[in-house]
Amino acid sequence: MELGPITLIPIGKVESALLEALCPALEQTFDAECRRGMPLALPEKAYDPRRRQYNAEEILRLLPAPVRRRVLGIVDADLYVPRLNFVFGLADIVERRALIALARLRQEFYGLPAEPALFLQRMIKEAVHELGHTYGLGHCTDPLCVMAFSNTLGDTDRKAAAFCEHCRRRLKGK
């Protein structure tokens, strides 16, 4: 069944090279066309100066929700939702839109030397995971599946960028 194209929307300043790396990976994984949408500004009202983070739920609501398409917003900042210290990403399953936050995927965030290839892998995994939710997939108990829940970056690094057989079958069945 045709799942519809994926639109990437940079929110705030996002390096163009990152979107160029992400699109082909998503096209391959979801067998769907990936295109770049109109960038959005980072909404200052979503910024919590005390936490020095943006509210992910507020940003997610700003994303368009076109019919028969998937929208992935990319924010190069640190995001939170109330009650959690931070989130790597967030998905709105009903409107089929999702969001990923890049800040904590970089080694530099933890005072470590940059590892660009590792960072790209993490970004792709988080993007596939959040988009997977928009295709109706829940969290997977297989720790190597991209739909496994990532509590820490260690979880993200351990899992693959691909779906396990079970999730792949569910995805295809959509």
- The correct pick among 147, 156, 159, 171 for binding Zn ion (CB under 5 A) is 147
* Residue 126 appears among annotated catalytic residues: no
* Tokens 């917003």, residue located: 73
CA 60 distance to own-chain centroid: 11
Q: Which stretch binds Zn ion (CB under 5 A): 38-46, 102-110, 113-121, 162-170?
A: 162-170
Q: How far is the CB of 100 from Zn ion (least distance, A)?
A: 11
Q: According to the binding rule CB under 5 A, does residue 101 interact with Zn ion?
A: no
Q: According to the binding rule CB under 5 A, does residue 100 interact with Zn ion?
A: no
Q: According to the binding rule CB under 5 A, does residue 161 interact with Zn ion?
A: no
Of the two residues 13 and 146, which places its CB atom closer to Zn ion in the complex? 146
* Tokens 């009650």, residue located: 83
Q: According to the binding rule CB under 5 A, does residue 90 interact with Zn ion?
A: no
Distance CA(111)–CA(94), nearest Å, equals 38
Instruction: Return all residues near 130 (Cβ < 8 A) that are at least 6 apart.
Output: 72, 89, 90, 91, 98, 99, 100
Q: How far is the CB of 156 from Zn ion (least distance, A)?
A: 11
What are the phi and psi torsion angles at 133 (to 5°)? -60, -40
Q: How far apart are the first and last CA of the chain?
A: 7
Which of left, alpha, beta for 12 (phi over 0: left; psi -120 to 50: alpha)? left
Q: According to the binding rule CB under 5 A, does residue 171 interact with Zn ion?
A: no
Q: According to the binding rule CB under 5 A, does residue 87 interact with Zn ion?
A: no
Number of residues forming the site for Zn ion (CB under 5 A): 6
Q: According to the binding rule CB under 5 A, does residue 164 interact with Zn ion?
A: yes
